[in-house]
A and B are shown apart, each in its own frame.
Chain A
Amino acid sequence: MRRIKLLFLLIYCQLTLQAQTVRPFVVFGDVKPEDFAPTVYSIDSAAPAIYLFDNGMARFSENNSGKFDVIFQRHTRIRLLSRNAFDLATLEIPILTFGSFEQKMEYLQAVTYNIEDGKVIAMPVDKSAIIVEKNKKFKVTKLTLPNIKEGSIIEFAYSVRSPGNYLPEWSFQGSYPKLWSEYDITIPFFYNYNVYKRGTLNFSMDSIRSFHVDYDYYNNVPNKNNTTKRVWGIKDVPALKREPYTTTTDNYISKIEFHLAAYTRTDGNTFPVNEDWATVCNHLFADESFAYSLTLPLKWLNSEVNKAVGAAATPLDKVRNIFAYVRDEYTCTDRSARSLSQELKQTVQTKEGNVADINMLLTAMLLNIKVDAKPAILSTTDNGRAFPSMPFLSQYNYVVCFAYIDRNVYLLDASNRLLGFNKLDNECYNGYVQVIAPWYSANAINLVADSLQETEATAVFIMNAQNGKATATVTNHFSYQPSLQLKEDIRSEDSASFFEKVKADYPIDIDISNAAIENLRDPEKNIAIKYQFVTDLGHDSLIYFNPMLAGQEKENPFFAAKRFYPVEMPFCMNKTYTLNMEIPAGYTLDALPKSLTTKFNGNDGLFCYSIDEKDNHVQLNVILKLTKATYEPEDYQNLRDFFTMVVKKEAEQIVFKKKK
């Protein structure tokens, strides 16, 4: 009796265990009429498409030459609910081929299902409708599914074979909600991977199973459990939200990635891989697509360096000249690259290259004049944050030049014609910059947006002129990053059309004269905008006048009521506005807005609006300052309310009354 009870208990346990980790069992082609029944899915009632099932699988397979390939398979089933998601019915699968690395597509299947008179009608894609388009470094397999309607189910499966041991990452989350997203990997004993997970969603399933496989080429294969299969699954994955002031949703997406930690050779010896930055640095210096050329004689650069150095005498001046030369004479065609696209010699010849080509060339030219220079890698904001302690090269997408001159550190980026010496774009302020040097470890510089304290100062002086008119002088000073943004924005525009916009933005009618934008094309200097204007304030018995003439916060940048991810601004802003205005002739001051000072989250932000009358002048000082660039979602409501208050206060008006 007791035994039976125990057995019951066991069965019960097993059942509940299973109930927790129900994995949908989906067979390709097995679509049932009831799959078409739902018209709305509770996971997201507004979604134009729902992934019913999305499964990735990676395993190793021995190839003819005694090496292993990675086979990546994907099997996906999608319910299309609205035409807005019909793009999902067109598939583009890139197949990489460069040098000895050649991927192959092993099979590809795609089917559309519709329901007609209660029956499921399947329509596979024609073999003739599958097109392979060839480009320089990759092929793209393209197809579009036939017979697509609102309500259709589409299903596709494919498999790609790649040489080597790179395990593709898997994103559980995407632009559409998924009822089930799963990744299965099967790894033989001779590879050992570290696994990294991003995102906040919890796994609904996380299982490990070991078993035996025969491996022909290995001598001392462990008999039992020499292969491990891991499965991760997430049920009901919501679609990724896009929000303003987010560097990239990649930082928040639920995904899993792998990095080889060690491998065992056929003779049984085990080698660690990518152990630390020092080892990685050594690899990178042996890598022709990175720093190998820096280890060779650099005499061939003499003539280019001589042209660049010009008359400069001190090492620092020479570096400045070389930097400016590379920046101005070379064109960067791709600002997201961690590897060279070509030999340095070719970069010199064509005068173009990606950011790695250009800054590696800069490094080589500095080495040529015996300056201590090294390449350094980083991940830009739109590429997501790299794990600082782990040397995962695939997380990096940008190369800059690190120079050490007279005990000072310089970070140089010659890939952007607008960037000054030792200045980086705010996109580079995204965590650690890893300096790559042979036998040189853990040399990293942390760049964070919070450290960029940027200012914008506006001053307006208004004086009375004849006939009830007023004349004003306006100056506008920007610090480096806002200047850079302005330079990028105004780059192709002439200053006349810029001032047209300035004029249109004014709350009053003005005529601008003596207008100038200083340093617009000088990468080293900050922008100053100066102009004068004349305006007619009118002759009514009352004049209503908003003193925030320029730089007013007209709308709340945080319009959404809810926030899912942190707010990430490019830098901390500090705006000041000063107005000094003579009270219009023939008028007296009737009403002034009240002065006000508020703080936001302690010292995270400050808004100060201070207004006063003195000697027949109105004086206004406004400070709007944020001491951080990044705010957590918990702070969002406060941040939004803070800006609502700022917008409201800055809309207030002065009233002047005509003297009797």
Chain B
Amino acid sequence: MKYLLLLMALGCLNILKAQDYNVALIPDSLKANADVVKRTEELHVIIKDEGKAIIKHKYAITVFNESGDEYAMYANSYRKMESLYDIDGNLYDAAGKRLKSVKKKDIADVSGDEESLVSDSRTKYHNFYCRSYPYTVEYEDEQELNGIFFLPYWWPQIDEKYAVQQSRYIVEAPANYVLNFKQFNYPTKPDITKTEKNVTYTWQINNQKAIISEYFQPSWQDVTTAVYIAPKSFTVGGYTGDMSTWQNLGKFILSLNQGRDQLPDGVKQDIHRIADTAKTVEQKVNLLYQYLQNNTRYISIQLGIGSWQPFDANYVATKKYGDCKALSNYMHSILKEAGVPSNYVLITAGKGRKGLWEDFPSPYFNHAVLCVPNGKDTIWLECTSQTKAAGFMGSFTGNRKALLIASDGGHVVNTPVYKSTDNLQLRKVYATIDDNGDLDAAILTTFSGEQEEPLHSLMYSTNKELREEILNNAINLPTYKVEKNDYSEVKGRIPVIHEDLHITSPNYASITGKRLFIKPNLFNKTGTKLSKDSARVYDIAISSSYMDVDTVIIQIPAGYTVEAMPKDVALESKFGKYSINFKVADSAITMLRTNEVSAVMLPASEYEALVNYYDAMYKADRSQIVFVKKDN
């Protein structure tokens, strides 16, 4: 009997060892376009109860070339509430022969969060530094969550040129545990098995080919497989909550923020001095937002439950700094003192990022802002910025769904969407070109909405000298000097910046013999040149709307007549509208250019039309007028 047990145990060992990483076992279709192939993966989440879970992760990756080396590195972070127990690593050669092994104790760790002033996050890194391709690394680790808020998600194909041979996601929970999940690009339902005590969910993919990314590709999530899970009830950092609905998740956040709005007397006096005489809610908000901007700054602090719970208002009032949660909560407290109700809002911030999924209550947020309901005219406040206009969300937090926390819990809301008529760049250029071809130009430009954002950073984060340097670098003229650069901003829901530039550029126009060559579109040429070569796979996603209007008037030296004139161009398509016109009269060139881009999602079949559209624009933008000197 003893022997039988031993034999069985040995048999098990054999099964565990049986994993064969010989590269020859990878199908050719997976090798195509792949820098790496994930051979096998198992992400195993064992939920013990509402506040405790074990995460076992095992994966093997075969690296074919230098570009794939970055995926061979192991990294995992841990904190006080997420301990990292075991790490096991192995390196195999092309034939699948094991070359090296590593254990947790041999792996050094470093502070895991460079951005934050304070953070309890630490990271373990390991790398075999193998350079004989192809090679395979295999890692296995185990983590324990003490407190559940986030649960790990499954995203097997993490990048382009990355194929997946096999990957599996297993979630095990007590039989009475309610688990919500959301699938992306997973055609069927998970495999669910139940026992008396447990329920087990399994998702698996096999033989996913490597992806080559394309211009205007939809977001990564829309094209690859992913599964997110979220608990119904949970316990974290001494708090319990429920996220079966957005409303309940909101209630939990409310409980974290409870009683954190006490302000010191000095600040209260400031608030009343500043806001009491203001007549409308909007005036009050503007004045107090300015007070917040003048008196605080953003410092990231991430400790324990503090990653989700804001530092209280009193802390911010005395230190004059805080992170997004602390600053939003502080502003909420300020407005409350002034008699203006406002709501704390959780959001996923980042240009091009999407908001929450309405049908899947879960805590995947990375930012907090504040919302002031004001009848039809809701005011949104980004509390970490010292310069942004009150009410403007822009590309960082605009155009997405977010979770607004009210006294009755959470509500899904939409942040403002910016249209092409909000995101404008209106430019007038008055230029002269002298007999040497030297250019002298006054450029007056009005930027608004999302098009204002880069200018806003330029205006506030740099001094005049540095700005001149950046402009000198940025604008695409041969030799170029900024003689004057002035900026003024008109704050508002759609903020506007007026730019006043004066530049000189020796030899802008090329003179060869008796001819003068001028490209009148001085400052707004499209740089997009798309390739027609390969067949389009994905839909076309254009993510933001905007409009540019350029008027250029160039005075040229007397005595020249037109030898060649470019054609006017007018294009209209599903991607936008474009037109450019040229005129010459009395030694003056007038060019008028309009380019309107609309956010749109179109099928891949439209790709050829898109290429032709951009091609036509590319050429028209570089049109040249040729003048000849009249013989005297």
Contacts and interface: CB of A to CB of B under 8 A. Distances in A.
A653 B510 contact: yes
B512 A559 contact: no
B129 A651 contact: no
Contacts of B307: none
A556 interface: yes
Given A351-B130, A555-B479, A593 B512 contact: yes
B66 A491 contact: yes
B27 interface: no
B263 to A, nearest CB: 15
B472 A647 contact: no
Most-contacted residue by chain A among B67, B130, B479 (CB, 10 A): B479
A407 to B, nearest CB: 34
B279 interface: no
Interface string A410-433: 000000010000000000000000
Given A131-B117, A655-B515, A330 B626 contact: no
Interface in A525-562: 540, 542, 544, 554-556, 559-561
Contacts of A383: none
A148 B512 contact: no
A394 interface: no
B150 interface: no
B175 interface: no
B118 interface: yes
Contacts of B513: 591, 593-594
Interface string A136-148: 1000001010111
B619 interface: yes
Contacts of A644: 478-479, 506-507
Given A83-B297, A84-B461, A554-B478, A352 B127 contact: yes
Interface size class of A (residues with CB under 8 A): 35 or more
A146 B318 contact: yes
Contacts of B536: none
Interface string B366-400: 00000000000000000000110000000000000
Interface stretch (B6-14, B443-451, B463-471, B585-593): B463-471
Nearest to B99: A351
A1 interface: no
B386 A330 contact: no
Which of B111, B463, B477 has the most CB atoms of chain A within a 10 A radius of its CB?
B463
Interface of A: 46-48, 82-84, 86, 90, 129, 131, 133, 135-136, 142, 144, 146-149, 328-331, 333, 350-352, 417, 491-492, 500, 503-504, 509, 540, 542, 544, 554-556, 559-561, 591, 593-594, 640, 643-644, 647-648, 651-655
Contacts of B477: 555
B517 A544 contact: yes
A491 B65 CA distance: 11
B473 A142 contact: no
Given A83-B460, A84-B462, A492-B67, A540 B480 contact: no
Given A329-B131, A644-B506, A556 B479 contact: yes
Contacts, number: 127
B368 to A, nearest CB: 20
A651 B463 contact: no
Contacts of B131: 328-331, 351, 417
Contact of B117 (A90, A492, A648): A90
Contacts of B118: 131, 142
A559 B480 contact: yes
Contacts of B564: 540, 542, 544
27 contacts: A83-B386, A83-B387, A86-B297, A131-B117, A136-B108, A142-B117, A144-B117, A149-B295, A149-B320, A329-B131, A351-B131, A491-B66, A500-B529, A504-B529, A542-B564, A544-B624, A544-B626, A555-B480, A559-B480, A559-B481, A591-B514, A648-B478, A651-B507, A652-B510, A652-B512, A653-B512, A654-B512
B94 to A, nearest CB: 15
B85 interface: no
Contact of B479 (A328, A540, A559, A653): A559
Given A560-B472, A643-B479, A655-B512, 9 more contacts: A47-B463, A135-B111, A136-B108, A144-B117, A559-B481, A591-B512, A644-B507, A648-B506, A651-B478
Closest 3 pairs (CB-CB, A-B): A331-B129, A648-B507, A556-B479
B321 interface: yes
Contact of B478 (A148, A417, A555, A561): A555
Contacts of B110: 135-136
A492 B108 CA distance: 28
A544 B529 CA distance: 22
B612 interface: no
A492 B129 contact: no
Nearest to A557: B479
